[in-house]
Amino acid sequence: MFDNLSEKLERSFKLLKGQGKITEINIAETLKDVRRALLNADVNYKTAKTFTENVKAKALGSDVLNAVQPGQMMVKIVHDELAQLMGGESVDINMNGNPAVILMAGLQGSGKTTHTGKLANLLKNKKGKKPLLVAGDVYRPAAINQLQVLGEQIGVDVYTEEGNNDPVKLAKDGVKHAKTNGYDVVIVDTAGRLAVDEQMMNEIAAIKKAVSPDEILFVVDSMTGQDAVNTAKEFNDRLNFDGVILTKLDGDTRGGAALSIRSVVEKPIKYVGMGEKMDALDVFHPSRMADRILG
Ligand code: GDP
């Protein structure tokens, strides 16, 4: 994860740390490298530009030029700015409803169904919740079956309705079932398409209206780089979602999505998926992610 970005940043800071005293020119050169590294990691242009401008202002403002260890101080400034770029603090999901309703949205293949299972598993094991999963991808029997298999694996019930191909009614019925049967969280999986289309957006907007979710989570594949950010924007314009689950961070992702989503969409990443297993889901901590990026 982020190997390329980490390597590039490490190289440019090494040069800087090698200098006893640094000049404004050293800072400018380092920031040029940082910006190039970010663009190379698929961070969008505007985000990378603002980022380096902020770092420069902070560096000059905190008098890096006269610091005893200017290189270390620059690394710290970049670290804090990276954490800030990813939202600063970690943000929890809202589970105030009784039952709390969580709606999962995203493109097909993003990891929606897998993460519906992972989230239920986490809420059950770490928060002592009793979740119910709703198999809302009614068009794909394989998706319903996939959720049932996951549910069985983690010991969480899955709500389905044989022959019902109306996802809005299914979601409503699922929430009603949860209410009358003592479940305290309902996670509604939904159908995705390979690309954003009007029908999918209308459908998920209708589900949102029907079940008034406490939390809408947009699930996105971190390997898709700038596309991840564009898709997030389209979903957010339509759904005004509450948070993001960034998936497949265990793969060879360049990191752009993790770094850009927050600043472009202004919604926090709340969880990151780190593998196919049901326990491979972590709460997202911007500062820890910045630690990882800087190695
Ligand atoms: P959906 O179409 O959005 O419901 O996507 P799925 O949940 O079916 O996931 C698509 C593929 O990605 C499956 O093969 C999953 O096993 C895989 N997958 C999902 N999440 C992760 C992850 O965090 N890491 C890795 N490596 N694979 C994942």
For ligand 1, the distance from its centroid to the CA atom of residue 248, given in whole angstroms, is 7
Q: Which one of 116, 220, 276 would you pick to mutate in the ligand 1 pocket, going by the greatest count of ligand atoms within 8 A of its CB? A: 276
Question: Is 108 close to ligand 1, i.e. is its CB under 6 Å away?
Answer: yes
Question: Is 97 close to ligand 1, i.e. is its CB under 6 Å away?
Answer: no
- In the prediction, which pLDDT does 12 show? 85
pLDDT band with cut points at 50, 70 and 90 for residue 50: very high
pLDDT band with cut points at 50, 70 and 90 for residue 20: confident
- In the prediction, which pLDDT does 56 show? 93
Residue 137 is assigned to a ligand binding site:
no
pTM score of the predicted model? 0.95
Residue 32 is assigned to a ligand binding site:
no
pLDDT at 19 over 80: no
pLDDT at 251 over 90: no
Mean pLDDT within 157-175: 94
Between CA 153 and CA 147 the distance in angstroms is 10
Question: Is 251 close to ligand 1, i.e. is its CB under 6 Å away?
Answer: yes
For ligand 1, the distance from its centroid to the CA atom of residue 143, given in whole angstroms, is 12
- In the prediction, which pLDDT does 61 show? 87
pLDDT at 41 over 80: yes
What torsion, rounded to 10 degrees, do the Cα atoms 72, 284, 213, 128 define?
Answer: -140
**The complex's ipTM?**
0.99
Residue 108 is assigned to a ligand binding site:
yes
Name 185's bridge partners: 100, 131
Query: 106, 220 in Cβ contact below 8 A?
Result: yes
Q: Which residues contact 74 (CB under 8 A, 6 or more apart)?
A: 13, 16, 22, 27, 30, 55, 59, 64
